[in-house]
Amino acid sequence: MTEPVPPAALLTHDATLDTDIVVIGAGPVGMAFALALADTPWRIALLDRQPSGAWAGDPRALALSHGTRQLLGRLGAWREQAGTPIHTIHVSQQGGFGRTLIDTADLALPALGHVMRYRDLAAALAAAIAQRQPALQWLHGCETLAIDAGDARVTVRRGAETLRIAARLVVHAEGAPAAATEAHVFDYRQHAVLAEVRPRPGHGHRAWERFTPDGPLALLPLGENYSVVFTVPAERSATLCALDDASFLAALRARFGRRLDFSACGPRSAWPLALRLRRTRVAPREAWIGNAAQTLHPVSGQGFNLGLRDAWELAERLAALPPGSDPGEAAPLAAWARARNADRLGSAAFTDGIVRLFSNDLAPLRAARGLGLLALDLAPPLRHFVARRMIWGARAWP
Ligand SMILES: Cc1cc2nc3c(=O)[nH]c(=O)nc-3n(C[C@H](O)[C@H](O)[C@H](O)COP(=O)(O)OP(=O)(O)OC[C@H]3O[C@@H](n4cnc5c(N)ncnc54)[C@H](O)[C@@H]3O)c2cc1C
């Protein structure tokens, strides 16, 4: 593997690329991981099967915790103007008593978090990566043909050419695993229907999490709009998506009573929801981060925040290795996987527990939930813990 490496844009024939770390998947987690290593001596190749900018049509808006904002800032990928701050979060249940309000005063922070479109987040990370090229090799439109993991060799096809990449570590950041054999999968049989709606009057930087018998319903302030994540049983999502704007807004109003009103609505899209937890996070010369390692229900907005912590902590461990070390060495990878367990399993249990506890209409559970929300509202230490859990992950524990 000593042939000179042509710049990514000039590969015109079957070629080889010799590198240290190959990252499969240039979603936000893969891009953040590559960026976090940009100032180290490691040579990094980041590849994605999509062309650059394919995220432009993604309708998701992500709630980014304060911790995520700080990490993105350190990566040079925080865009203040693209994020809408959250000052308060109102949590309640439909058809039952109890509510809790979390606000910035609980944590003495300027904002509990920010809401940003997936596409703006991806564009900010991509712009930061563009400034680091050629230290980071970014290959778009690459279909992975084979991974010879023990040797960390990856063969990809791009158009008519075949590229053989020799590395010492393969990091998987290609999103939710397709093969059920590699992951514990629980299908929630729910879909998240996404839309943007205009609140009347303005949102005042308040986010809403409303638990309904159908599933959780979140409103996240985004610019002048709310980004809606409307969870419903899978068999009802097509009907909800097909409603005209007035009927969709009426369905939303019906979930909130007279608390909220809306004046306009954008297009809808539906996303099937499942919990996928990869059984192993490391193998010889391989590691899995972000959604490739765990895909969570979107309730309480944990997925990307957790994936970024995966990426950051793995990059930190690799960067701390003595000069000349092998980045695919088993011991540091295993130590990273062990250290990430509490955050990963805690976040999965937190989101899964909320969905199971709240997505039903059983009277005794409704009463217990109401008491829980009331207790949360009346007991600041408990409320602070929940807020810290959402912001810092496992580090929320004292
Ligand atoms: C409705 C909804 C709402 C959400 N809301 C929030 C929220 O509020 N807050 C939050 O933190 N998270 C939220 N999430 C979760 C968040 O979207 C994910 O956790 C995050 O996108 C994971 O990023 P990733 O880079 O790991 O994976 P992805 O975003 O899935 O990116 C994977 C990348 O890998 C590429 N790829 C796939 N296969 C291959 C292959 N074989 N070879 C090469 N490249 C490949 C893809 O093209 C893509 O670019 C939400 C998710 C949903 C569905």
Least-confidence region, from 67-76, 164-173, 381-390:
381-390
Indicate the pLDDT class of residue 1, thresholds 50, 70 and 90. very low
Using CB distances shorter than 6 Å, the residues near ligand 1 are 24-30, 47-50, 60, 62-63, 144, 173-175, 192, 194, 229, 271, 290-292, 298, 301-305, 307
Greater pLDDT, 91 or 38: 38
Which residue matches tokens 């309730």? 299
Indicate the pLDDT class of residue 3, thresholds 50, 70 and 90. very low
Whether the Cβ atoms of residue 302 and residue 296 lie closer than 8 Å to each other:
yes
What angle do helix axes 66-74 and 303-319 make, rounded to 10 degrees? Answer: 40
Mean pLDDT of 358-379: 61
Task: State in Å: Cα 354 to ligand 1 middle.
Answer: 21
Cβ contacts of 216 within 8 Å, gap of 6 or more: 209, 210, 229, 231, 299, 354, 355, 358, 359
Whether the Cβ atoms of residue 231 and residue 358 lie closer than 8 Å to each other:
no
Task: State in Å: Cα 197 to ligand 1 middle.
Answer: 23
To test the ligand 1 pocket, which listed residue (86, 288, 304, 309) has its Cβ within 8 A of the most ligand atoms? 304
Indicate the pLDDT class of residue 202, thresholds 50, 70 and 90. very high
Helix extents (H) in the chain: 28-36, 66-74, 118-132, 237-242, 245-256, 303-319, 330-358, 363-378, 380-392
288 three-class SS: strand
Tell me the per-residue pLDDT of 134-160, one tens digit each, with 9 for 90 and over. 778 999 999 999 998 788 899 999 888
Task: State in Å: Cα 292 to ligand 1 middle.
Answer: 9
Indicate the pLDDT class of residue 222, thresholds 50, 70 and 90. very high
List the domains of the chain with CATH numbers. 8-57+119-182+276-354 (3.50.50.60), 61-117+188-274+362-396 (3.30.9.10)
Which residue matches tokens 């290593």? 37
Write down the pLDDT at residue 284: 94
Rounded CA separation 386/264 (Å): 33
Q: What is the DSSP string of 125-146?
A: HHHHHHHHTTTEEEE-S-EEEE
Across 27-66, the runs of DSSP E, i.e. the strands, are 44-47, 61-65
Write down the pLDDT at residue 389: 60
Tell me the per-residue pLDDT of 26-45, one tens digit each, with 9 for 90 and over. 999 999 999 999 999 999 99
* Residue 64 identity: L
Least-confidence region, from 165-174, 322-331, 338-347, 375-384:
375-384
Whether the Cβ atoms of residue 282 and residue 292 lie closer than 8 Å to each other:
no
Q: Which residues pair with 226 in a beta bridge?
A: 197, 221
Mean pLDDT of 343-362: 77
Which residue matches tokens 């936000």? 28
Write down the pLDDT at residue 237: 95
Provide the percentage of residues in the chain whose pLDDT is more than 90: 60
